[in-house]
Amino acid sequence: MWPTLTLLAVVAVGTGFWAWRTSRFARRTESALRQELEELRRSRHLRLAEAEVKQQAVFNSMVEGLLILDEDGRVQFANPALSQLFSLPTEIRGRTLMETLRLHDLQTLSQRVLVEGRVTGVEIHLPSEPHRAIQVNAATVRDPDRALAGTIFVFHDVSRIKQLENVRKEFVANVSHELRTPLSLIKGYVETLLDGAKDDPAVATRFLRTIEKHADRLTFLIDDLLTISQLESGQVAFNIQALDLGDQAEQVLTELGGRGADKKVTVTNEVPPGLRIQADGDRLQQVLFNLVDNAIKYGHVGGHVRIGGRRLAEGAIEGWVSDDGPGIPPEAHTRVFERFYRVDRARSREQGGTGLGLSIVKHIIQSHGGEVSVESSPGQGSTFRFTLPEASPETETLRRASTPE
Ligand code: ADP
């Protein structure tokens, strides 16, 4: 009897212990699993949050404007570039496209993208001042069941590209026109000579002189175009050194003296001694040459052209060329520095002008870090001013060291 009772007691205790251990193990496994799951969830959240921060940083740093609409066509997200481009208020979430941007072209585009799925390179124009051209790309976003989840719009401001394109087109049109005019005149004179005018020596000489004048004009034009192109492409290395403004003016006067004499124009160099500038000698000569040449060209017969200069307070030197000619109307003061702009087109052509002289002057002076301007009123003559950096003591020391005594 006792052994049976003992056996039963042992079995009962053993079973109880087993049950206790199993339930403890089960409890431990469940809590460990719960903890593991929690950690997983936390790290997933963390990863998602990290991804969102990165995405936000990308959207915020984008130059292009970004707009995301939800499946109902309401604003879900707009990046700072978009807000700036369209001057949007801070809170636009939940608004429709039309309420947000008020552009019919964009509304049409949003309907098109819903049908086509993706639309690229559509140009819209903002009725703003200054005029803005925006290129828009748009695409729908679909969930795995192909149901519409939203639409993404990317806006790229192409106003500057358009503007440069227009400048280039205008330049090509101007160059073609400027080249064609003397060429067709030359052709006309040659044809007339061949048709018999060559048999009259006086007429032939006159015609040949005219042909020579127009051929010269073509040469000047091509020279000026090459100069502009070299300056704009930054191909020319400037040989900057300390120079005396008065000496430079004197050299230009020697070169242009004959031209002044033809029109009985007196040209005087009034640059005070010791005005030392830091510049490229050849380019400075070109600046002075163009300004004095214009002053003689457009000035009166028997007029007076003066070249002067002074030291400005902030380490800069100002040079000027003035004349007592017919002057320039105020509305043309900034325009005369534009390529091919002339106040009097016929007069410029007659004088062999290319319309590029002052834009070359402006380019050279700006490349030296200076500025150009004109003061003039009709009938009162004109004064063209330019600034250049003053030669620094270091440049002067270098110059003295390299100049043989
Ligand atoms: P151009 O080859 O025609 O002289 P520029 O660029 O040198 O071209 O000058 C542009 C225009 O500015 C000239 O066509 C002329 O109408 C005007 N201009 C320039 N300098 C003078 C001046 N000293 N007096 C009057 N008009 C001037």
Domain boundary assignment for the chain: 60-157, 160-236, 237-405
Tell me, using a 6 A CB cutoff, whether residue 357 lines ligand 1.
yes
CB 304 within 8 A of CB 266: yes
User: In this predicted model, what pLDDT tens digit does every residue of 9-48 receive, in sequence order?
Assistant: 544 555 555 565 556 656 667 788 888 888 888 888 888 8
How much is the pLDDT for 260?
78
Q: How far apart are CA 387 and CA 278, in angstroms?
A: 11
**pTM above the 0.85 mark?**
no
Q: Which atom of ligand 1 is nearest to the CA of 353?
A: 2
Which pair of tokens denotes residue 164?
A: 């440069």
The CATH-assigned architecture of domain 237-405 is 2-Layer Sandwich (3.30)
Tell me, using a 6 A CB cutoff, whether residue 344 lines ligand 1.
yes
CB 277 within 8 A of CB 389: yes
How much is the pLDDT for 2?
47
Q: 160-236: which CATH topology? A: Helix Hairpins (1.10.287)
291 C-alpha to center of ligand 1: Å?
9
Tell me, using a 6 A CB cutoff, whether residue 323 lines ligand 1.
yes
E-assigned strand segments in 299-381? 304-311, 316-323, 372-376
Give the total residue count for the chain.
405
Which pair of tokens denotes residue 87?
A: 């001057």
User: In this predicted model, what pLDDT tens digit does every residue of 370-393 receive, in sequence order?
Assistant: 999 999 988 999 999 999 999 987
Give the 3-state secondary structure of residue 11. Answer: helix
Give the 3-state secondary structure of residue 67. Answer: strand
Name every residue whose Cβ is closer than 8 Å to that of residue 35 and which is 6 or more positions away in sequence.
Answer: none
Tell me, using a 6 A CB cutoff, whether residue 353 lines ligand 1.
yes
DSSP state of 96: B
User: In this predicted model, what pLDDT tens digit does every residue of 41-67 receive, in sequence order?
Assistant: 888 888 888 888 888 899 999 999 999
Give the 3-state secondary structure of residue 382. Answer: strand
Tell me, using a 6 A CB cutoff, whether residue 337 lines ligand 1.
no
Domain 60-157 is found in CATH 3.30.360.10: no
351 C-alpha to center of ligand 1: Å?
10
Query: Residue 119: enclosing H or E segment and its boundaries?
Result: strand 118-126
Q: How far apart are CA 188 and CA 53, in angstroms?
A: 73
